Amino acid sequence: MINRRSVALTALLYVTTAMPPAVAQQLSVADFYNQTSLANMKEMVEKFYASDCVFEDPVTHLEGRDKLLSYYRHMYEGVSKIRFELATQVRQGDEGFASWTMYLNTPKLEDGETVTVKGVSQFRYRGDLVVYHRDYFDLGEMVYEHVPVVGWLTRKVKARLGDHES
């Protein structure tokens, strides 16, 4: 008779030892997102990005790791708490994608209450380092919806555009 615990343990050992190298890199995406802080930012950015990396999001376009480090530092200085949940991670060859939910607390938005933003990151690798990183997310969800008057207007426009019964 087969012991269920033995089968589960065997399956777990197989999965953890048979993971391709791409999965190991994908895990470092989660580590980068959740272990980076102001205290270790330089070290984490140097471990994750190539010196000639390109970064884009709805707010900016940067070229070079030093500029990206400066951008991250500026962002994190106004953040009291940040956490990411990665839902999906895929890497094939030098291309990778991760879908995530960011939970952000900053006194600049919602009086420090948690702001939740869903997004997707696209990565292009050279070896183990990221040479291209683009974040896709709804800037309105992150910023505009949490600013008085502008937030009300943004939510109204979104509701109107999403109303297919009119």
pLDDT tens, per residue, the chain with 166 residues: 455 444 343 333 333 333 344 433 433 688 899 999 999 999 999 999 999 999 999 989 999 999 999 999 998 998 889 999 999 999 999 999 999 999 988 887 667 688 899 999 999 999 999 999 999 998 876 554 545 554 455 556 556 666 655 4
Task: Report CA Rg, the chain.
Answer: 19
pLDDT reported for residue 153: 53
- Report pLDDT for 26: 38
Report, at the CATH architecture level, how domain 21-138 is classified: Roll (3.10)
52: how many CB neighbours lie within 10 A of its CB?
12
List Cα–Cα distances, 16 to 11, 13, 61, 90, 158, in angstroms.
Answer: 9, 5, 37, 17, 44
Q: CA 59: distance to chain centroid?
A: 15
Q: Which residue matches tokens 């997102």?
A: 33
Position 85 scores a pLDDT of 95
pTM of the predicted model as reported, rounded to 2 decimal places: 0.70
For position 8, what pLDDT does the model report? 42
**pLDDT of res. 111:** 72
pLDDT confidence of residue 21 = 44
Query: Where does the chain show beta strands of DSSP type E?
Result: 49-56, 61-63, 81-92, 95-105, 114-126, 129-137
CB 145 within 8 A of CB 151: yes
Q: Compute CA 64 distance to the chain's CA centroid, rounded to the nearest angstrom.
A: 19
119 within 8 A of 136, measured Cβ to Cβ: yes
**pLDDT number for residue 30:** 86
Q: Given this model, what pLDDT does residue 16 score?
A: 34
Q: How far apart are CA 55 and CA 10, in angstroms?
A: 41
Instruction: Report d(CA 91, CA 109) in Å as an integer.
Output: 33
Give per-residue burial for 123-132: e unless 16+ CB within 10 Å, then b.
bbbeeebbbb
